[in-house]
Amino acid sequence: MTQAKAYAAQSATDPLGPYSFERRDLRPHDVQIEIFYCGVCHSDLHTVRGEWGPASYPCVPGHEIVGRVTAVGEHVKKFKAGDLAGVGCLVDSCRECHNCQQGLEQYCENGATFTYNSPDRLDGSNTLGGYSNTIVTDESFVLRVSEKLALEAVAPLLCAGITTYSPLRYWKVGAGHKVAILGLGGLGHMAVKFAVSFGAEVTMLSTSPSKEADAKRLGAHKFALTKKPEQLTDLANYFDFIIDTVSAEHDYNMYLNMLNTNGVMICVGAPPTAAQIPASNLISQRRSIVGSLIGGLPETQEMLDYCAEHGITSDVEVIAIKDINEAYERMLKGDVRYRFVIDMATL
């Protein structure tokens, strides 16, 4: 076993603080990674505060992990010590069901094993995530990371990147489409970059006037403030797609009305409260509302390779781990440009 240093929450109401525990001995297919950086996702906050239901404590969040391989199990083929590597939201799945066989491990019919707050499939222990200096993961769930890009800016691709890349690819969003991105945070800024890269006309819908210049710099063609509905009348029946990344309660109907005939609202943001949507809002223009969960392992690798080829990374603010609780409060206020990433050397 390896002694690991980490930050953990001990309950839904405690701030995160220093914690140590043991990472398991390497199984034959395991890879051990020294973690250099871990991104801070709003899902970390939802989970540790019990907003999606009770979590298991101590809870070590973090699923945007990059670092270097330090050791490999006897049967590992894909990695060797010294390789750069990444781990996202998944660390295991049944590998046998229809979805796993198709590389859609996130939709494993027997329940995927998530990087934190999930029971390990073999020993039942609670998985502990990337706010830590080391992690041990089966090689099938470890991603190859290019040496070409800045590592701290690659970390958020492991969740914010794949969560926005996957639905844009699945719904074949590209040239000729008008796309709105709702919410300019971690997911939102990656959605802008990918939708622009795929050739769509991109409009940023935001509650923050101060983010307009950034939205344009990220590549958005238009910007509209959602707090001023009078500015939005020309957007009625306008979009082919809306990618909703909002983390808190909001009015879905206001945005559904911006979808043109056959328009699709793709929900990736996961607010803790349920939405009220009258069927008439969908019926009137044959609109649909759909959801999408991260991405499977093959598509996550495809996304990382696409980013390396096209020079796409996340815009990050690197923080020391002692500042994680303050970072959560800033994230709640929408004050993040556009992803906090923890430098694990500060642990």
Strand (E) positions, 62-133?
Answer: 65-72, 84-87, 90-92, 113-114
Q: Could you say which of ligand NAP, Zn ion, none residue 4 binds, taking C-beta under 5 to 8 angstroms by partner kind?
A: none
Tell me which residues in 173-202 interact with ligand NAP (CB under 6 A): 183-188
Chosen residue from 246, 304, 312, 324 binding ligand NAP by CB under 6 A:
246
Among residues 72, 211, 214, 256, which is the contact residue for ligand NAP, using CB under 6 A? Answer: 211
> Scanning residues 46 to 105, which ones bind ligand NAP (CB under 6 A)?
46
CB 314 within 8 A of CB 336: no
Exactly one of 100, 184, 196, 316 binds Zn ion (CB under 5 A); which one? 100
User: Of 12, 270, 282, 319, which one interacts with ligand NAP (CB under 6 A)?
Assistant: 270
Strand-pair category, 134-138 with 143-144: unpaired
Could you say which of ligand NAP, Zn ion, none residue 6 binds, taking C-beta under 5 to 8 angstroms by partner kind? none
Chain CA centroid to CA 88, Å: 8
d(CA 189, CA 161): 9
Tokens read off for 296: 């499977």
Cα(211)–Cα(217) distance, integer angstroms? 10
Q: SS3 of 267, please?
A: strand
The single residue among 9, 16, 35, 43 that binds Zn ion, judged by CB under 5 A, is 43
Q: Both tokens of residue 338?
A: 């556009």
Q: What are phi and psi of 8, to 5 degrees?
A: -140, 155
178-182/316-319 β-pairing: unpaired
Helices (H), 198-335: 212-217, 252-256, 279-283, 297-310, 324-332
DSSP run (H or E) holding 187: helix 186-197
Distance between CA atoms of 192 and 184, rounded to whole angstroms?
A: 9
Query: Shortest approach of ligand NAP to residue 250 CB, angstroms?
Result: 4
Closest CB 109 distance from Zn ion, rounded Å = 5
Give Cα 272 distance to the centre of its chain: 16
- Which one among 48, 108, 242, 258 touches Zn ion, defined by CB under 5 A? 108
Q: Name which position in 132, 163, 203, 313 contacts ligand NAP (CB under 6 A).
A: 163
Q: Which is nearer to ligand NAP, 238 or 328 (CB)?
A: 328
Site pattern 106..145 for ligand NAP (x: CB under 6 A): ----------------------------------------
**Least distance from C-beta 70 to ligand NAP, angstroms?**
28
Dig out the tokens for 285 from the structure: 């223009």
Indicate the residue among 18 and 111 with the shorter CB distance to Zn ion. Answer: 111
Pick the binder of Zn ion from 6, 159, 242, 342 (CB under 5 A): 159
- Residue 334 found at the interface with ligand NAP (CB under 6 A): yes
- Structural contact between residues 164 and 189, judged by C-beta atoms closer than 8 angstroms: no
The correct pick among 10, 56, 140, 207 for binding ligand NAP (CB under 6 A) is 207
| Residues 257-296 within binding reach of Zn ion (CB under 5 A) | none
CA triplet 296, 298, 304: central angle to 5 degrees?
A: 100
State which of residues 72, 128, 180, 331 lies at the interface with ligand NAP (CB under 6 A).
331
Residue ranges binding ligand NAP (CB under 6 A)? 41-43, 46, 159-160, 163, 183-188, 206-208, 211, 245-248, 250, 268-271, 292-294, 331, 334, 336
Residue ranges binding Zn ion (CB under 5 A)? 41, 43, 93-94, 97, 100, 108, 110, 159
